[in-house]
Amino acid sequence: MKTDNITPLKNPVFVTRSSMPSFKEYCDEIKGIWESHHLTNMGPKHNRLVQKLSEYLNIPSVSLYANGHLALENMLEAYKVSGEVITTPFTFVSTTNALVRKGLKPVFCDIKKDDYTIDPSKIEALITEKTSAILAVHVYGHVCDDQAISDIAQKYDLKVFYDAAHAFGVLKKGVSVAALGDCSMFSFHATKVFNTIEGGALCCRESSMLGAFDAFKNFGLDADKEYSEMGGNAKMSEFHAAMGLCNLRHLDEEIEKRKKVFERYADGLGNTEGIKLCFPGEGITHNYAYMPVLFTGAFNRDKVFDSLQKLNIFARKYFYPLTSDTEWYKINVPERKHTPIAAFVADNILCLPMYSELSSDEIDIIINAVLRSAE
């Protein structure tokens, strides 16, 4: 690689940078908390954010959580999922951990080559009498083939859940991905397109589920003040909700800036043999959450990673390794299915830096370093 003669950047460039409002805007938003002393337990900021998210996503039922992982676990509890759940190994380990922590068996299905989401054509062969649900993931904000998944689920009477941690703000034919399946989980972690510092949400079209969601995150306490479920504590605080209210005001502008970053990357890398970019599908309004690049031929993922790091630029091997190939799963789920496409992608994909404040000069340096790595 020929990056030794290039001066490393003075300030490091990381794979992402958290979106934040101005200091004044956030201070103005939290000022009322000092007046009310209402810090948590579904206070005014929390309830206001629920309303705003419901409007933004055009979905009737939104339940906020302290983080996306607890939201996933509560979803599985609220729907009383049991037995086996078909899912993808090409995801952050939280997706699969939630299943196992709730006593469920993950059954790993391979992914599609084009957008890295679960391959519906391979789901049906994995269904057994113990299968109760499909947990799919909108990877990098790219939307699963929800119609094919829905058709399979209806045929076998299965629930369909989506880990939509990467897909906040994404639309399919003008409809939010929050409306897909039986329920969707969003992560509002600091690294996401929309963040509440830490946080998450469950969204669904059935308002009847909202009571169960809210009970499970609040020790099982229901609307009648009875402890009707064995719940835990997963409530979002007022300070986190306040950050969400601020960031939601700027979200569309944030996504538009990210789109321009993507387009500059695409102009510089899109027509290069051995480099595969992942473009939004037909009818998809994308959120440009990540910049995944698949390297083959003359390009080597690890070599690109190292050459960028020498320049003080920190990309991420995401997702690597596959969830199914992590130490715990190799030991405790030895009968896991082989997923060759997912394995290939995990070994060759790299997420380049992607955030709204990434400058054109920084993007060009990254592009040049990537291209020179093959020399």
244 and 259 belong to one structural domain: no
77 and 97 belong to one structural domain: yes
Residue 352: beta bridge partners?
291
What is the predicted pLDDT for the residue at 4?
54
Give the whole-angstrom CA distance, residue 318 versus residue 322: 9
CATH of the domain at 202: 3.40.640.10
In a domain, 129, yes or no: yes
Instruction: Please give the structure tokens belonging to residue 225.
Output: 């003040």
Domain's final residue, options 249, 267, 297: 249
37 and 59 belong to one structural domain: yes
Chain CA centroid to CA 115, Å: 14
Residues with Cβ within 8 Å of residue 256, at least 6 apart in sequence: none
216 and 317 belong to one structural domain: no
User: Which residue is it, tokens 């076998």?
Assistant: 156
Residues with Cβ within 8 Å of residue 26, at least 6 apart in sequence: 20, 242, 243, 246
Encode pLDDT of 240-255 as tens digits: 999 999 999 999 999 9
Instruction: Please give the structure tokens belonging to residue 11.
Output: 């300030």
In a domain, 350, yes or no: yes
Domain's final residue, options 195, 228, 249: 249
Residues with Cβ within 8 Å of residue 59, at least 6 apart in sequence: 176, 178, 179, 203, 204, 205
218 and 270 belong to one structural domain: no
In a domain, 149, yes or no: yes
Instruction: Say if residue 295 is preceded by a cis peptide, omega within 30 of 0.
Output: no
Q: Which of 127, 130, 123 is nearest to 103 (CA)?
A: 130
204 and 262 belong to one structural domain: no
Strands (E), 10-119: 13-14, 61-65, 84-87, 105-108
286 and 222 belong to one structural domain: no
In a domain, 8, yes or no: no
Q: State the total domains in the chain.
A: 2
In a domain, 136, yes or no: yes
Q: Which of 290, 289, 341, 283 is nearest to 317 (CA)?
A: 290
Instruction: Please give the structure tokens belonging to residue 207.
Output: 């308002």
What is the predicted pLDDT for the residue at 76?
97
What is the predicted pLDDT for the residue at 3?
47
With contact defined as beta carbons under 8 Å apart, do 258 and 288 qualify? yes
User: Which helix (H) or strand (E) is 306 found in, with range?
Assistant: helix 301-310
In a domain, 4, yes or no: no
Encode pLDDT of 119-160 as tens digits: 999 999 999 999 999 999 999 999 999 999 999 999 999 999
230 and 83 belong to one structural domain: yes
Contacts 24+ apart (CB under 8 A), 71-74: 71/185, 71/186, 71/187, 71/200, 71/201, 71/202, 71/234, 72/98, 72/163, 72/185, 72/200, 73/98, 73/101, 73/102, 74/202, 74/213, 74/216, 74/217, 74/231, 74/232, 74/234
Give the whole-angstrom CA distance, residue 269 versus residue 265: 6
Structural domain containing residue 127: 23-249
241 and 307 belong to one structural domain: no
Residues with Cβ within 8 Å of residue 51, at least 6 apart in sequence: none
Instruction: Print pLDDT tens along the chain (375 aa).
Output: 444 567 899 999 999 999 999 999 999 999 999 999 999 999 999 999 999 999 999 999 999 999 999 999 999 999 999 999 999 999 999 999 999 999 999 999 999 999 999 999 999 999 999 999 999 999 999 999 999 999 999 999 999 999 999 999 999 999 999 999 999 999 999 999 999 999 999 999 888 999 999 999 999 888 888 888 888 999 999 999 999 999 999 999 999 999 999 999 999 999 999 999 999 999 999 999 999 999 999 999 999 999 999 999 999 999 999 999 999 998 988 777 789 999 999 999 999 999 999 999 999 999 999 999 998
CATH of the domain at 307: 3.90.1150.10
222 and 288 belong to one structural domain: no
Write the DSSP symbol of residue 121. G
69 and 211 belong to one structural domain: yes
Domain's final residue, options 223, 249, 275: 249
93 and 226 belong to one structural domain: yes
What is the predicted pLDDT for the residue at 1?
40
